[in-house]
Chains A and B, each alone.
Chain A
């Protein structure tokens, strides 16, 4: 459960005052949502776990500069999103499993057809979302995968809620066309 506003301020004040227990409480309350957002973004649970850790490392370093204008989770999500972007922009790629010299991956247990289909659909949707222009991509992922309300997204993007809704509308149009293209 995310932290309500009043509690959030108390928690932040306690963390800044050096209360380790408050920091742990903040982790407990937010890490699942951060992990879930990252998992949906990158599609890899191991990678999402690493990125979640990295997100909190950056959050601790940036905490003194957090002015409290947005909610704590909004701020965390922003860090997580940026961490994800930095990861995909780094000059490294996973080695293709098809290459003869590729390292072997641990073989997962056989999946049922339904599970495979669902995963493929999710992957298609994820790929399509990641192809959106940056402003639309952030808005869509923050709203649907980060669970941030439109008002919060508007606050951190420093635009109006109307503009956010317009972005969402535009994003849906693009996603629709992208997903239609992928349908054989």
Chain B
């Protein structure tokens, strides 16, 4: 490079005029000095201590829940019985011996019993605490136990039978004894006792015991049934069908913690946000009507939803909640009409199928305030007011509102047009946040074509859908949409609009895609 030229360039760069700041700029800047500097350290300390406090509370709650659960499990009688039931449910040695003696007395051979009841006391507990739905037990179920203190008998003649025709005790399944219940052990020298007699004796004894122990027994059964009844609704609410449909062999454990109920927190997908229709199917319905060769009725066209369909989520999802404000000359107006758009985007989060969308903010409110200099304004696609609220603002949300605005003839660039404010409480920090956007005349795009793609698609969608509702339209929507689609072939929305506008044009036989 020529050294002289370089020096000249340096001189020009260095000696470029140093403009003086306007009067009052320093004061304006000083007025905006925040007050929070004084409390910064306190804020940090407060934040740290609140985090520590929250962690302690969370740990305490977890400890409490786990303690209660463990305690419940340990102290539950059913848990005790299950422990015993899990052990080999064999008759105590004494009982077994007697049983064998009886059997030998009868048949001279050992009886084959795959299992025998435990001591009567235990057997009684098994029966009453069995975790079977009360209504599943046969109505005529007799007490299948011997009186406490009696000589242990084998399984009685009225065993409880399930649908599999096997005897069920607790968690175990007992095969029917091949030898009937023995009577109390007779002396070896006695004459053999017949099987039928043994069964009869056992029946009688069982009936006696039932009569004597009925109140206690029925109390225990009633308690168990009551517990089941309490558990059943909770299981139903949890959407679990395990308790009701489980076979009797299985033990239905009590669902201590029911699954979270996402629906109660209103986290489902919505068709309206801030009162703005975001019905994604709105455009699809109109499109399918046109593709069927019919012109959609005015009532079936949801302008707001179609605007939001074409405004679409941001090409790059924001990290935090974002408020976007943009304005451009209106397409169809040759005068001083402009389209003002504000869009609220929330952060994106992948959600599994069937899952709930997490919240981004709560107690959200958006308002737009037009300056007195604005000649007129009206909201496109709706007649709702200038303020809207949303109790829970979810993630993965993008909502757009359009206004048509008329400005005076001599509006200067610095003249404010409108202020849009979004106020919300951040769900992560719990802090109130406000985003403010001020739009001035000088911020308005020079032309519609120089506005952002999102703005152009949204406004084109508005023009087209309003024309479907009967509004006068002089814009060739098809051509504009084709231009947009050609500018970015990857933009499927522009292509969709171009195709459907073209289809409507062919349907109408007009030349403008209106």
Report yes or no: A52 in contact with B21, Cβ–Cβ below 8 A. yes
Of B13, B412, B455, which is within 8 A of A91 by CB?
B455
Q: Assess whether B367 is interfacial by the CB under 8 Å rule.
A: no
From A39, A93, A96, residue with most partner B Cβ within 10 Å: A93
Report yes or no: A92 in contact with B443, Cβ–Cβ below 8 A. yes
Report yes or no: B22 in contact with A49, Cβ–Cβ below 8 A. yes
CB-nearest residue of chain A relative to B6?
A: A172
Cα–Cα distance between A42 and B443 once the two chains are bound (Å)? 15
Of A19, A95, A125, A144, which is within 8 A of B441 by CB?
A95
Shortest CB distance B43–A (Å) = 10
CB-nearest residue of chain A relative to B411?
A: A103
Q: Assess whether A60 is interfacial by the CB under 8 Å rule.
A: yes
Of A31, A46, A64, A179, which is within 8 A of B29 by CB?
A31
Known contacts A172-B1, A172-B6, A173-B1; A104/B410 CB under 8 A? yes
Report yes or no: B16 in contact with A53, Cβ–Cβ below 8 A. no
Which range holds the interface residue count of chain A? 35 or more
Residues A152-181 near B (CB distance < 8 A):
169, 172-173, 175-176, 179
Chain A residues near B21 (CB-CB < 8 A)? 31-32, 35-36, 49, 52
Q: Assess whether B326 is interfacial by the CB under 8 Å rule.
A: yes
Chain A residues near B268 (CB-CB < 8 A)? none
CB-nearest residue of chain A relative to B44?
A: A64
Cα–Cα distance between A36 and B16 once the two chains are bound (Å)? 10
CB contacts between A and B, total, < 8 Å? 133
Q: Assess whether B319 is interfacial by the CB under 8 Å rule.
A: no
Of B9, B19, B443, which is within 8 A of A45 by CB?
B19
Cα–Cα distance between A155 and B8 once the two chains are bound (Å)? 27
Shortest CB distance A96–B (Å) = 5
Chain A residues near B28 (CB-CB < 8 A)? 53
Residues A86-104 near B (CB distance < 8 A):
90-96, 99, 101, 103-104
Shortest CB distance A115–B (Å) = 10
Chain B residues near A120 (CB-CB < 8 A)? none
Q: Assess whether A48 is interfacial by the CB under 8 Å rule.
A: yes
Cα–Cα distance between A60 and B33 once the two chains are bound (Å)? 7
Which range holds the interface residue count of chain B? 35 or more
Residues B475-492 near A (CB distance < 8 A):
none
Q: Assess whether B14 is interfacial by the CB under 8 Å rule.
A: yes
CB-nearest residue of chain A relative to B410?
A: A104
CB-nearest residue of chain A relative to B43?
A: A64
Residues A123-144 near B (CB distance < 8 A):
125, 129, 140, 144
Report yes or no: A101 in contact with B335, Cβ–Cβ below 8 A. yes
Binding stretch for chain A, among B34-42, B198-206, B299-307: B34-42
Q: Assess whether B450 is interfacial by the CB under 8 Å rule.
A: yes
Residues B372-419 near A (CB distance < 8 A):
407, 409-415
Chain A residues near B451 (CB-CB < 8 A)? 91
Of A35, A92, A118, which is within 8 A of B326 by CB?
A92
Cα–Cα distance between A63 and B37 once the two chains are bound (Å)? 9
Chain A residues near B450 (CB-CB < 8 A)? 91, 93
Q: Assess whether B30 is interfacial by the CB under 8 Å rule.
A: yes
Cα–Cα distance between A16 and B336 once the two chains are bound (Å)? 49
Chain A residues near B230 (CB-CB < 8 A)? none
Chain A residues near B35 (CB-CB < 8 A)? 20
Chain A residues near B336 (CB-CB < 8 A)? 101
Report yes or no: A94 in contact with B413, Cβ–Cβ below 8 A. yes
Report yes or no: A28 in contact with B26, Cβ–Cβ below 8 A. yes
Known contacts A91-B326, A145-B16, A176-B5; A56/B29 CB under 8 A? yes
CB-nearest residue of chain A relative to B5?
A: A176
Q: Assess whether B295 is interfacial by the CB under 8 Å rule.
A: no
Chain B residues near A63 (CB-CB < 8 A)? 37
Of A23, A96, A104, which is within 8 A of B33 by CB?
A23
Cα–Cα distance between A82 and B10 once the two chains are bound (Å)? 24
CB-nearest residue of chain B relative to A101?
A: B336
Cα–Cα distance between A86 and B413 once the two chains are bound (Å)? 19
Shortest CB distance B294–A (Å) = 37
Residues A41-61 near B (CB distance < 8 A):
45-46, 48-49, 52-53, 56-57, 60
Of A56, A122, A169, A172, which is within 8 A of B16 by CB?
A122
Report yes or no: B446 in contact with A99, Cβ–Cβ below 8 A. yes
Binding site for B on A (CB under 8 A): 15-20, 23-24, 27-28, 31-32, 35-36, 39-40, 45-46, 48-49, 52-53, 56-57, 60, 63-64, 90-96, 99, 101, 103-106, 118, 121-122, 125, 129, 140, 144-145, 169, 172-173, 175-176, 179
Instruction: List the 8 closest A-B pairs by CB distance, nearest first.
Output: A18-B38, A144-B13, A91-B452, A93-B446, A35-B21, A103-B411, A39-B19, A92-B443
Binding site for A on B (CB under 8 A): 1-2, 5-6, 9-10, 12-14, 16-22, 25-26, 28-30, 32-35, 37-40, 326-327, 329, 335-336, 407, 409-415, 441-446, 450-452, 455
